[in-house]
Chain A
Amino acid sequence: MPTASNDKAIEFIGVSKRFQLAEGRSLREFVPALLRGRGWAPPFYALRGVSFTVRKGEMLGIVGRNGSGKSTALKLMAGVMAPSEGEVHVYGRVSPLIELGAGFHPDLTGRENVHLNASILGMPGRDIRARFHDIVDFAELRDFIETPVKRYSSGMYMRLGFSVAIHSDPDILLVDEVLAVGDAAFGEKCLAKIREFQERGVTIVLVSHALGMISEFCNRALLLHGGRVVLDGPPQEVTQRYLELMHADEVAVS
């Protein structure tokens, strides 16, 4: 196994991810399937033999159509899924920004949710207490922090989630289409924070359909199609190819 003292942040080696579609959720479906001598429905491959390496401090963009395997790749990086074949290595602490505020409880106050969410992301208690004010200030929710989050607007909700995640001191930040949080001013603030992270050498993986953002921020991009890496290279080239691919598919359909 490679040691952690290299410059790699994320490494995918021949990774495939298989899913059982139309899975039987009850014994009523499972037992007959078993008796017929075969397991479940035929497998579906979300990723097939994907290999790439993300260096420390790199900002990688991943583009691809819906169902191309982007989210699966992100879930493998986040460690919520294990690959069916191949190896995934992640060096350092990962903070996923995938669907913000997933860990929020509507009945808890903003303050309690900050503690809950931060501890889910793996922040030790003393760090949470030390950074609590920074988190609240960044989210601009000082006046509402004792209010249950069910009374929050969706913008407030997402601001708080974003703020917790970026204050969790990640080595690797996984971003999935979430930078459209709050109003324009807050969006700017988030982008500034992303730049600051880049300067500090935090590795960032950005999955987005916003091609402008990919070419502006990332120093490298991957194009996924049908669970395979079609192109791995400079963002401009990759986004160009992505547009061609989309166009080609449209032509094929019509």
Chain B
Amino acid sequence: MNQGPRVAGRDHIGTALRIPDFIISLANLWHRRELLWNMTVRHLRGQYKQSILGYAWALVMPLSQMLIMSFVFSTLLHIPSQGVPFPLFLFVGLLPWNFFSTALSSATDSVAGASSLVTKVYFPREVLPAAAIFTKVVDFLFASLILVAMMIYFGHAPTWTIAWVPLLFFIQFLFTLGLSLPLAALNLFFHDVRYLVGVALTLWFYITPIIYPVDVVPHRYRIVFDLNPLSLFINAYRRVVLLDDSPGAERLLLGIVIALVTFLVGYFLFKKMEPGFADRI
């Protein structure tokens, strides 16, 4: 249909995306890191600017979640927690989950939310979802302070295996970005997408071992958990942070493959849909 109109200068919208273009746009992202940084700052400022507690909200939310959930699921329902104090067990799952779910929903809205920019000036659009996710990385780091406080409170000293966390987080980040790129693009074409993401996240929370350990899941249902990347990530975090264990080479490799494939496919789809963005807003 579109007869290959190519535009000179890569900082532009072309219509036919070929594999070399894809590599080039990946490399171009590095040149626009300044933009990514400034966009992230813009998000962060916008997020808590009008509130009295400001950045403290990044702590209040997960803290209250942890207290309430611990009361309901441990005190009332006696859910086991792999021999670790339940609040600690819960929080190590809750932290990466909150990052994932807030990042995914915010990134899904990011391109539609910047419509005035998208219709006026060209810049690599993937900066928008990426900046939305980086904003949530900051929230994640803030909320991690609570975990540190909890480990001190429960006298649960971390072991050297905690050094796996940056790698695990990077894998999770890549997966989150890869998943949110096509969603952010599709959200421009169908506004239903943002609601679908909301519903999907609510359900996803319950089929991920956050408030319960994966050991309580009967074997015939295990397949759901083996296929769920979030389950993979959260189990790995628990092993390295709480259980003095390594993530396991096989599972680590699986996580890397899932994250990498998700990212590459997601990014490719995003770039494919990108030329239509301004038409759709």
Q: Are B123 and A90 in contact (CB under 8 A)?
A: no
Measured between alpha carbons, how far is A91 from B8 in the docked complex, in Å?
A: 6
Q: Are B5 and A120 in contact (CB under 8 A)?
A: no
Residues on B with beta carbons closer than 8 Å to the beta carbon of A92? 9
Measured between alpha carbons, how far is A1 from B16 in the docked complex, in Å?
A: 14
Residues on B with beta carbons closer than 8 Å to the beta carbon of A123? 34
Measured between alpha carbons, how far is A4 from B41 in the docked complex, in Å?
A: 36
Q: Are B34 and A128 in contact (CB under 8 A)?
A: yes
Per-residue interface assignment for chain B, residues 239 to 281, with 1 indicating a CB less than 8 Å from any chain A CB and 0 otherwise: 0000000000000000000000000000000000001111110
Contact surface of A with B, Cβ cutoff 8 Å: 1, 4, 15, 19-20, 23, 25-27, 30, 75, 78-94, 96, 98-99, 102-103, 105, 107-108, 112, 115-116, 119-125, 128
Asked whether A103 and B117 contact (CB < 8 A) given A88-B5, A124-B34, the answer is: yes
Asked whether A83 and B5 contact (CB < 8 A) given A98-B120, A120-B117, the answer is: yes
Measured between alpha carbons, how far is A76 from B98 in the docked complex, in Å?
A: 40
Per-residue interface assignment for chain B, residues 164 to 180, with 1 indicating a CB less than 8 Å from any chain A CB and 0 otherwise: 00000000000000000
Residues on B with beta carbons closer than 8 Å to the beta carbon of A116? 38-39, 41-42
Q: Are B120 and A82 in contact (CB under 8 A)?
A: no
Q: Are B191 and A26 in contact (CB under 8 A)?
A: yes
Q: Are A119 and B8 in contact (CB under 8 A)?
A: no
- Interface residue tally on B, bucketed by range: 35 or more
> In this assembly, does B118 line the interface, its C-beta being within 8 Å of a C-beta of chain A?
yes
Residues on B with beta carbons closer than 8 Å to the beta carbon of A25? 190-191
Residues on B with beta carbons closer than 8 Å to the beta carbon of A90? 7-9, 12
- What are the nearest 7 A-B pairs in CB distance? A79-B12, A79-B122, A82-B275, A87-B5, A119-B35, A125-B34, A80-B278
Q: Are A107 and B49 in contact (CB under 8 A)?
A: yes
Pick the residue among A26, A78, A107, A124 that contacts B46 (CB under 8 A). A107
CB distance from A174 to the nearest CB of B (A): 10
Q: Are B38 and A115 in contact (CB under 8 A)?
A: yes
Q: Are B279 and A27 in contact (CB under 8 A)?
A: no
Q: Are B38 and A96 in contact (CB under 8 A)?
A: no
Per-residue interface assignment for chain B, residues 1 to 30, with 1 indicating a CB less than 8 Å from any chain A CB and 0 otherwise: 011111111011111000000000000000
Pick the residue among B31, B38, B46, B121 that contacts A80 (CB under 8 A). B121
Considering the complex, give the chain B residue whose CB is closest to the CB of A87. B5
Per-residue interface assignment for chain B, residues 193 to 211, with 1 indicating a CB less than 8 Å from any chain A CB and 0 otherwise: 0000000000000000000
Residues on A with beta carbons closer than 8 Å to the beta carbon of B39? 116
Asked whether A1 and B6 contact (CB < 8 A) given A80-B121, A120-B121, A125-B34, the answer is: yes
Please give 17 more A-B residue pairs, beta carbons under 8 A apart, in addition to A88-B7, A99-B120.
Answer: A15-B5, A19-B279, A79-B11, A81-B13, A82-B276, A83-B5, A85-B2, A87-B5, A92-B9, A96-B121, A105-B42, A115-B38, A120-B117, A120-B123, A122-B11, A124-B34, A128-B34
